[in-house]
Amino acid sequence: MSEKVKVVIGDRLGKGQNVAKGVEAAGGIAIVIPGIGADMKLGDVMHQEQADFGISFCGSGGAGAVTANTKYKYPMEFGLRSVDAGVTAIRNGKKVIGFGFMDIEELGRRLTEAYIQTNGR
């Protein structure tokens, strides 16, 4: 059996627990970066954990995603405000996705499901 999809979650306000529940409900492994400013650590933790993709949350919807892209060249989409936009980004091969604040279970579940459908695991 294939290894589980690994998703790193970084939220500017230290949240992300609801998104993590959705990732796990879809069969993935969620790694929530603790603490304020966690979004800015997204690329480093993704690199350390060899994650399949990462989700960044902040007011602008992009700071952590842009930082991860700049440092590690992960393909990114940022400034997103809906679950459907995130699903499209995953299907288009993005590895780092930046949202406004959206700590909802549906987001984690649907992005993980889209990743599994697109990448065969």
pTM over 0.85: yes
Structure-token pair, residue 58: 């902040």
8-state DSSP, 40: G
pLDDT score, position 44:
98
The whole-angstrom separation of Cα 7 and Cα 58 is 17
Contact status, residue 7 vs residue 51, Cβ threshold 8 Å: yes
pLDDT score at 1: 42
Which domains can be identified in the chain, with CATH numbers?
A: 6-104 (3.40.1400.10)
Spell out the per-residue pLDDT of the chain, length 121, in tens.
458 999 999 999 989 999 999 999 999 999 999 999 999 999 999 999 999 999 999 988 889 999 999 999 999 999 999 999 999 999 999 999 999 999 999 999 999 999 999 998 7
